[in-house]
Structure 1
Amino acid sequence: MDARYDIRADPAQGMIHIRMGGFFSEADVQSFAASYRAELRHVAHPGQLTLVDIRDMKIQAQDIVAAFGAVMASPDIRSRKLAFLCGSTLARLQAQRLTDRDGVAFFDDMAAAEAWLLA
């Protein structure tokens, strides 16, 4: 698999920035979840804001989408607001399957995503 991710806390904004790319396995999802939890120590949570840039993500298998959905819905990770930066319609549709809760939005512009999170 060619999964890659970068997770960075922004304590001043109470935000987590995530950049993801490639194709993930179940082990990659678990590694991502552990890294995400580690970065959460640097921001006040619950209630953090999360920006996820998935413009470099490949379309994932359904079991991987379900695994990411479970991670992002986990009470110790769940964000107050979650913005996805999507590069394609297919990526947006797949990300929309992760969650159907309030406080989630999808963008194709970084500035718009950040403005929505901070509003």
Structure 2
Amino acid sequence: MNGMTPRFTITADPTLNLVTIVIGGFFAQPAIDAFERERDVAHRKLRCGPNQHLTLVDMREMLIQSQEAIAGFQRVLNNHATKSKRIAIVTSQTLARMQVERAAERRDVQYFSGEPAEAREWLLAG
């Protein structure tokens, strides 16, 4: 698999009401649709009420995305039925971070660089 290939893992921890997403590569709409389906599967494993879960996103391997991909992720992020209570996002590339900030505007989001442990700590401290 090369760096351009879209890839993601989404895991749910029902005891913490925490969804952890590791995402990387370059996305087109079919991969965004697959991501959304996988995210919905993870959400169904949670025990909390709607919009009460926490989300940790490690996107250090994410490439700069097309405008179409940003719009697609914006649609996924702005679905009121699946919005997180809080999101911690770990990024490395400045431009990719600027893109995700645009996609996640008006959300309770905190950005981190470096290791996901700090982001997870912030999320769970609530």
Category of TM-score, reference length = shorter chain: over 0.9
Q: What secondary structure does 2:52 align onto?
A: coil
Runs of 5+ unmatched residues, structure 2? none
Q: Where do 4+ consecutive residues of structure 1 move more than 4 Å?
A: none
Q: Identity over the aligned pairs, expressed in percent?
A: 36
- Which residue pairs with 1:53 in the alignment? 58
Within the alignment, does 1:114 sit opposite 2:120 as a pair? yes
TM-score normalised by structure 1 residue count: 0.94
- Which residue pairs with 1:41 in the alignment? 44
Pick from 95, 103, 110 the counterpart of residue 98 of structure 1.
Answer: 103
Runs of 5+ unmatched residues, structure 1? none
Deviations 1:67-106 (A, max 9, x none): 1011011022110001111012112111101122241111
Counting only pairs closer than 5 Å after superposition, residues 1-119 of structure 1 correspond to structure 2 as: 2-43=5-46, 44=48, 45-108=50-113, 109-119=115-125
CA–CA separation in structure 2 for the residues paired with 1:69 and 1:51: 17
Whichever residue aligns with residue 51 of structure 1, its letter is L
Q: What secondary structure does 1:97 align onto?
A: helix
CA RMSD of aligned residues (A): 1.2
Deviations 1:4-35 (A, max 9, x none): 10000011110000000111110110110011
Q: What secondary structure does 1:51 align onto?
A: strand
CA–CA separation in structure 2 for the residues paired with 1:88 and 1:59: 8
Query: Which segment is superposed worse, 104-113 or 22-31?
Result: 104-113
Give the aligned length: 119
How many Å apart are 1:63 and its aligned residue? 1.3
